[in-house]
Amino acid sequence: MDQLLKNKNIVIIGGGSGIGFNIADKFLSEDAKSVILLDINEKQGNIAADVLNNTHGNVAALIPVYCAAKFAVMGFTRCLGHEDNFKKTGVRVIALCPGFTETQLTKPLLDEKDTDNSEELIKFVKGFPWQKVDAVGDAAVAVFKRAKSGTAWLIEGGKPIEEVP
């Protein structure tokens, strides 16, 4: 099921930087019609929208919708993306669940000199496979092209994507 991004409207939660920004850039490069960035940081969201608009056009930044808990995204995806809803609307709803990813937001977690980080926290986060933002952006495009509506996908440690049961 190879899906095209051409003429699709995309909503990205947390699109002001890091993973979300990279996904927005890649989707726009694949001819998405528009991207809406939802980010808790208004300034960062607006800057990201400006950068993407200068490169691609058709980007809007909206603010503090991010605080809807991420676990709710799974229920939202499965419910709204249900096959019956897809048949009625033709709109696919898909979730991408990235594992630990190197971004400006996560950089302090790996800093052993940061006095706010306990030894336990540093040991905990270093015990997980990390990935680069670009791996998540590439995974987002791959998921969009092949995923059925109502599904969620994991990208972790830069490994190939896999559907979340």
- In this prediction, residue 70 carries a pLDDT of 59
Cα-based torsion angle of the residue sequence 89, 36, 30, 27 in order, rounded to the nearest 10 degrees: -100
Residue-level pLDDT at 66 = 45
In this structure, the number of other CB atoms found within 10 A of the CB of residue 129 comes to: 10
118 CB-near residues (< 8 Å, 6+ apart): none
Mark the ranges of the chain whose per-residue pLDDT is less than 50.
Answer: 64-68
Give residues with Cβ within 8 angstroms of 163, minimum separation 6: 147, 151, 152, 153, 154
Q: Which domains does the chain have, with CATH numbers?
A: 9-164 (3.40.50.720)
